[in-house]
């Protein structure tokens, strides 16, 4: 293991690995960041899945992250690895949280249809009809309806679900920066998740939880209505919940902010 996690030394190992593709160097880097994979896996330890399985999934995500990481892009490896590991955990839970015989192709349509409905609802000022969603996505009305029906079978958790038994929800974690992981890993996790939001949602999250502004103050800062801020804040928190939770969310029980 690289002693005391010397970032410059790690950078040199990554550069050598990129040049040579050496399995030994890859394994050295995986071992160096094994604690990060374990921290990600432990976030989901009270979700009814064996801890051994969660750690195996997280380690697979870590290996993928090491193999795909480009040290010359200037992004710290943990900031790149965390979303990759969470993505693997999310897929693991997604595959385990569908009830009924729902085809994989339909499962993949559900988030697309849900996102399109949110976009159209904002654009139209009302809930869109299936035909409008189908036209927006360039698919058949039947496919949209099937995806909507499949979504009802999905056992999703919400933003208010604690990340550990008796613990904090993601919303309060964003506000307080405290969780079962060490503070540095938590800050890195939250930062990496927020960075995946679009620019306006990032500004709203920063204004609400860092600058501690009211929704009216954020609206004035961005030049939009308070209602628009409320809608975008809710959407941003939901996106963060879906990225953070291993099994997504159906948009229910999101606390007000």
- Residue 137 in any domain: the answer is yes
**Of 96, 114, 131, which residue constitutes the final position of a domain?**
96
State the pLDDT confidence band at 15, using cuts at 50, 70 and 90: very high
Say if CB 80 and CB 65 are below 8 A apart: yes
Give dist(CA 204, CA 231) in Å, integer: 11
Contacts of 54 (CB under 8 A, 6+ apart): 41, 42, 44, 45, 89, 92
* Same-domain status, 146 and 230: no
Task: Report the CATH number at residue 67.
Answer: 1.10.1740.10
The count of structural domains within the chain is 3
**Of 96, 116, 138, which residue constitutes the final position of a domain?**
96
Give dist(CA 39, CA 55) in Å, integer: 9
pTM above 0.75, yes or no: no
* Same-domain status, 57 and 92: yes
- Residue 31 in any domain: the answer is yes
Ramachandran category for residue 108: left, alpha or beta (phi over 0 → left; psi -120 to 50 → alpha) = alpha
Say if CB 226 and CB 215 are below 8 A apart: yes
For 12-19, the CB contacts below 8 A with 24+ separation are 14/69, 14/71, 14/77, 15/71, 15/72, 17/66, 18/70, 18/71, 18/72
* Same-domain status, 145 and 225: no
- Residue 113 in any domain: the answer is yes
* Same-domain status, 146 and 70: no
- Residue 217 in any domain: the answer is yes
* Same-domain status, 11 and 72: yes
- Residue 165 in any domain: the answer is no
Alpha-carbon separation of residue 35 from 3, 70, 90, 108, 190 (angstroms):
14, 21, 19, 31, 17
Range of the domain at 18: 3-96
* Same-domain status, 140 and 201: no
Summarize the confidence of residues 36-42 as an average pLDDT: 88
Residue 153 has pLDDT above 60, yes or no: no
Task: Report the CATH number at residue 143.
Answer: 1.10.10.10
* Same-domain status, 53 and 117: no
- Residue 162 in any domain: the answer is no
Residue 166 has pLDDT above 60, yes or no: no
Mean pLDDT of the chain: 75
Summarised one tens digit per residue, pLDDT across range 58-114 is: 999 999 999 999 988 877 888 888 888 988 888 787 766 655 556 777 777 888 888
């Amino acid at each position: 293991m690289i002693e005391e996690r010397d970032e410059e030394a790690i950078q040199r190992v990554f550069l050598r690995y990129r040049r040579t593709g050496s399995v030994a160097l890859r394994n050295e880097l995986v071992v160096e960041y094994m604690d990060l994979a374990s921290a990600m896996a432990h976030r989901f330890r009270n979700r009814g899945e064996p801890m051994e399985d969660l750690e195996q999934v997280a380690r697979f995500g870590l290996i993928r992250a090491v193999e795909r990481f480009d040290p010359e892009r200037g992004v710290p490896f943990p900031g790149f690895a965390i979303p990759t590991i969470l993505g693997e955990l999310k897929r693991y839970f997604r595959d385990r949280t569908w009830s009924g015989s729902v085809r994989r192709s339909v499962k993949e349509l559900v988030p697309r249809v849900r996102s399109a409905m949110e976009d159209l609802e904002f654009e139209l000022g009302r809930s869109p009809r299936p035909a409008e969603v189908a036209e927006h996505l360039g698919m058949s009305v039947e496919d949209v309806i099937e995806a909507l029906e499949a979504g009802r079978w999905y056992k999703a958790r919400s933003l208010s679900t604690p990340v550990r038994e008796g613990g904090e929800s993601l919303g309060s974690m964003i506000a307080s920066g405290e969780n079962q992981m060490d503070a540095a890993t938590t800050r890195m996790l939250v930062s990496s998740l927020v960075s995946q939001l679009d620019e306006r949602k990032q500004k709203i999250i920063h204004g609400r939880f860092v600058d501690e502004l009211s929704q009216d103050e954020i609206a004035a800062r961005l030049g939009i209505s308070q209602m628009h801020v409320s809608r975008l804040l809710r959407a941003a928190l939901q996106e963060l919940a879906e990225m953070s939770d291993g099994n997504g969310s159906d948009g229910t029980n999101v606390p007000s902010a």
